[in-house]
Amino acid sequence: MRLLQKTRAALAAFVREAASDNRGNVAMLFGMALPVLVMIVVGGVDINRVSTAKVGLHDALDAAALAAARSPYTDADDIQRVGMDALKANLAAYPTMSLIENETKFILVNDEIVVADAKVDVQTLVANIFLPPYGKFMDDQLPVSVHSEVHRSTKDIEVSLVLDVTGSMAGNRLNSLKSAANTLVDLVVQDQQNINRTRMALVPYSMGVNPGGYVDTVRGTPKGPTSITAASWMSPGWVAKSFSGVSKANPGVITANNHGLSNGDFVWISGVTQSGSGTDLTTLLNGKAYRVADVTANTFTLENSGSWTPVNTTGTKNYTANSGSFRKCQVSTCEVVVTSNNHGLETGDDVSIRGVNGMTQINNALDDGRTSTSAQTNLFTTITKQSSSTFSLNGRIGPNVSNYSSGGTVQCLEYGCAAFLFQNQSNNHWRIRPIIDANERSCVSERVGGQAYTDASTSTAFVSPAYASTDNPCLGSTIQPLTDDRALLKNQINSYAAVGSTAGQIGVGWGWYMISPTFGSIFPSANRPDPYSTDNSLLKVVIIMTDGEFNTPYCNGVVAGAVSGSGSTTQHINCAATNGNPFAQAVTMCNAMKAKKVIVYTVGFDIGTGTGGAGVDTAREVMQQCATDASHVYLPNNGTSLQSAFAAIGRSISQLRISR
């Protein structure tokens, strides 16, 4: 009605201005032109109204013809009844249309094709104006007719909808996306599934993808902490023993009656005092680990740890009798040995030890490495594997710790563990990042290696985990495998919240995974994608939507390098992205899925107009190169045009299933 009011106001203003002109030729010309001007101005309103109605009628008739084609009937009356019932239901959303039933037909031809014709009257708004002496320009209603044909062997369809829910989508942009996506659900997923199936999957993405309950299946189960049951450094049952003498010789001989040692044992010497002149004997012997050699019942010599060269005491000060003692160690370094059954660790692994009682000195900092400089020095410990149930702690010397009493866990910090240790991009400081965040969320990043750009099953190659940062957390919106439950799809869409940066390449990959019969084999049978079609009886479609540039590549499951817009570089890893440019990653994945005859639509929502330099380095280029062809690219710049783009895609997908 606002359009009508504006039209009338403009027309009135024009009439007043022309009527006030006292020049005779102007008045005469105005009088002659008035009917034509009125017809152009007010008739245009109804022409646009009729054009819009025709689009809606065509959608409604296509859906009704599909319903008739899916029905089990062959009798003409039944085909007409099913088609009419469906068409009337579809037209309920268009109150300005009046169906002309006697000119609307649904006919089954050769038991194969439903041919449908429909005609409606569209109520006009302004074109029925009466203008003397010309009369009315048009009638109160204008007729509109459309035609549709649908093969009974219409195709099954699987659609994967990939939606950008990054932080830049917050507010009205996300609301517009939800509305548009809901419209698409209604256009694609049909009520009747008895002849042909129409199913849709959802892939919300931001800094990665959240697979929900499938996360361990697709990335592997991360290794969590194991319990510590003991920790010590002396050999079992051993106590400190004193020795009575140290000779001045090469090697120096230590006298300790009935010492109980054997060649090859390791000892820690402490408490030695001295007198007289010579080199410092206490510095030579105290506070070090040695290997025992030349053992007799009451004497032995020492070898330096690592080099295993004899300890030369020639020229040292005099040993003070009975001042020193030795303790037998479990390992050559006299470091603490921890018992944790089936720990799964290897020599050189980094670990975090928490919760040990008594021997608290071996606990690591309760920190992720960001809050203090001191935490950097005690953030982790490197281990040496001793057995499947024991390992020693590098640098944790036994005599410097208290006795173990109870408790404690050990968590590996390698890639694939429940927590990961890395050096950051900003200043090479250490960081520890959990694979499951404080909100119990866990996301995934790209797949790497030989299967990076395939739809291989996860039994062949896992996707990579994502160790999300505190300033770019895992999104809460999870994937939805293929389903024909429109209410479920809409509920999922309406629950989306905007968060995080843009890992569009990961969204693209998951768009393919959701309709892939190989990767999708992880899903329950009702949600599992069908095999790729060899007879064109099944269409697989991926719709990729983004509102911005791809800025979140990964290395070892952590956002890589100095890219901006994906959190602070103090929380990025100091290594280059394993798969390289995220724009190029996305296009490579698109090309691989298109080679499998997957139809790809792209929607760039208010994205930049630049095309960058050489190669692929903008979202616009991804949208253009990923799509099946130029007709499958949509670049809306506001919420209204986004709604139109999704509606057009829905109609296009429906048209792929009908002959004309």
Q: Which pTM value belongs to this model?
A: 0.78
Average of per-residue pLDDT across 337-349: 98
Owner of token pair 């659900």: 185
Average of per-residue pLDDT across 257-274: 97
3-class DSSP assignment, residue 230: strand
- Mean pLDDT (the chain) is 90
CA distance 204 to 163: 5
CA distance 14 to 16: 6
End-to-end CA distance of the chain: 36
Tens digits of residue pLDDT in 223-232: 999 999 999 9
Average of per-residue pLDDT across 377-382: 93
SS3 string of 326-389? EEEECCCCCEEEEECCCCCCCCCCEEEEECCECCHHHCCCCCCCCCCHHHHHCCCEEEEECCCC
Average of per-residue pLDDT across 511-537: 95
Tens digits of residue pLDDT in 226-252: 999 999 999 999 999 999 999 999 999
pLDDT at 3 over 50: no
Tens digits of residue pLDDT in 183-206: 999 999 987 676 678 999 999 999
Token readout for 175 is 């609301």
pLDDT of residue 128: 55
**312 and 281 in contact (C-beta within 8 Å)?**
no
Distances (CA, A) of 386 to 274, 293, 331, 379: 37, 23, 9, 22
CA distance 391 to 382: 10
pLDDT of residue 28: 54
Distances (CA, A) of 630 to 38, 150, 625: 40, 26, 9
Average of per-residue pLDDT across 329-345: 97
Q: Which residue has the higher pLDDT, 66 or 276?
A: 276
Query: Residue 522: which H helix or E strand, with range?
Result: none
CA distance 630 to 364: 57
Q: How confident is the model at residue 15 (pLDDT cuts 50, 70, 90)?
A: very low
Token readout for 88 is 């009337």
